[in-house]
């Protein structure tokens, strides 16, 4: 009997140890989902989720933008705080205090081979007045050394100058104006400077240049000012464009569609207007796929 009691006692102790092991293992390997953790369709926490205190998922490219009070992807949308960081570094490097930000827009030039186009960028602006030439040069040196100028956005004149910079989906311009002086730039010039930044995706360069070329062709064909023509590319591949045009944006009529194909390294209009099209010719002779043509053409 005594031996049997000992055996039962050993079995009970073993079961207790196993139960404790299971409990500890479960506690170690289970993490309660936090309030900001994203959930899957079953309401369960997603494994590997890395939401911050604002619920922004860094692994998906989202960062918190306090200025806009939301999560955003810097490669899709501009956050003014990105410009503010550069401004603070400029101020530290030059000793110049910049005032801002205020909302603004500015032109940005893109170029590829011999083709050029510009686009309007919306963003923020900082400014300063009464800046001497030596301190302006400190600002320009900091930007040149740490970002590097964009070769397509450089302008020099007797009383003004402009430098463009691109970094992390953000185009920036440094612009200065000084009192008229037809000769040298004296060190005591009191300059007015502007620093502007906004969102720009360089992947859009292809579209900007293609739209500019179509505008040029339409301007010649219809003897119309190019700045009065609107072009919107809807779908494209390497050798084909499908889009909408507006030849009279300030008046009724003039709206239509266009098709263009790659001709050597340039774009050539093969159709524009609102009339019927020869679907066989478009597909067989010009190589447009059905996906590019739907829904406006050849349903």
Q: What is the pLDDT along the chain (299 residues), one digit of tens a residue?
A: 444 444 444 444 444 444 444 333 333 333 333 333 343 333 343 433 678 899 999 999 999 999 999 999 999 999 999 999 999 999 999 999 999 999 999 999 999 888 899 999 999 999 999 999 999 999 999 999 999 999 999 999 878 999 999 999 999 999 999 876 555 555 457 899 999 999 999 999 999 999 999 999 999 999 999 989 999 999 999 999 999 999 876 555 678 999 999 988 889 999 998 888 889 999 999 999 999 999 988 87
Instruction: Spell out the alpha helix ranges (H) of the chain.
Output: 2-29, 80-94, 133-146, 205-222, 279-284, 290-293
Give percent of the chain above pLDDT 70: 79
CB distance 48 to 58 below 8 Å: no
Cis peptide before 96 (omega within 30 of 0): no
Question: What's the half-sphere exposure (Cβ side, CA atoms, 13 Å) at 59?
Answer: 8
**Residue 152: partners with Cβ closer than 8 Å, 6 or more residues away:** 109, 110, 111, 116, 164
User: Which pLDDT value is given to residue 91?
Assistant: 98
CA-closest candidate to residue 237, choices 201, 280, 270, 267: 267
Domains of the chain with bracketed CATH: 80-200 (no CATH), 205-293 (3.10.450)
CA-closest candidate to residue 138, choices 96, 171, 75, 193: 96
Residue 27 backbone class (left: φ over 0; alpha: ψ -120 to 50; beta: rest): alpha
For the stretch 286-294, contacts whose Cβ atoms lie closer than 8 Å and that sit 24 or more positions apart, written own/partner, are 286/240, 286/259, 286/261, 287/239, 287/240, 287/261, 288/240, 288/242, 288/259, 289/237, 289/240, 291/235, 292/235, 292/236, 292/237, 292/240, 292/242, 293/242
**Reported pTM:** 0.74
């Amino acid at each position: 009997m005594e031996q049997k009691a000992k055996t039962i006692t050993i079995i009970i102790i073993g079961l207790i140890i196993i139960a404790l092991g299971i409990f500890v293992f479960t506690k170690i390997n289970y993490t309660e989902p936090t309030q900001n953790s994203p959930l899957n369709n079953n309401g369960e926490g997603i494994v590997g989720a890395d939401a911050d205190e604002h619920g922004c998922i860094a692994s998906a490219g989202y960062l918190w933008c306090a200025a806009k009070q939301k999560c955003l992807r810097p490669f899709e949308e501009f956050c003014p705080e990105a410009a503010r960081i550069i401004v603070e570094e400029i101020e530290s490097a030059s000793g110049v205090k910049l005032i801002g930000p205020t909302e603004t827009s500015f032109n940005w030039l893109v170029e590829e081979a011999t083709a050029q186009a510009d686009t309007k960028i919306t963003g923020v602006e900082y400014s300063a007045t009464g800046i001497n030439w030596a301190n302006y040069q400190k600002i320009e040196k900091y930007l040149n050394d740490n970002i590097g100028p964009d070769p397509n956005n450089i302008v020099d004149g007797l009383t003004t100058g402009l430098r463009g910079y691109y970094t992390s989906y953000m185009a920036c311009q440094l612009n200065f104006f000084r009192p008229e002086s037809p000769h040298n730039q004296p060190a005591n010039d009191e300059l007015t400077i502007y620093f502007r930044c906004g969102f720009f995706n360089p992947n859009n360069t292809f579209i900007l240049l293609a739209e500019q070329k179509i505008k040029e062709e339409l301007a010649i064909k219809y003897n119309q000012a190019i700045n009065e023509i609107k072009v919107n590319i809807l779908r494209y591949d390497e050798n084909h464009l499908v889009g909408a045009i507006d030849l009279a944006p300030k008046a009724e009529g003039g709206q239509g569609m266009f098709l263009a194909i790659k001709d050597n390294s340039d774009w050539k209009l093969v159709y524009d207007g609102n009339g019927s099209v020869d679907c066989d010719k478009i597909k067989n002779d010009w190589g447009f796929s059905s996906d590019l043509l739907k829904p406006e053409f050849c349903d």
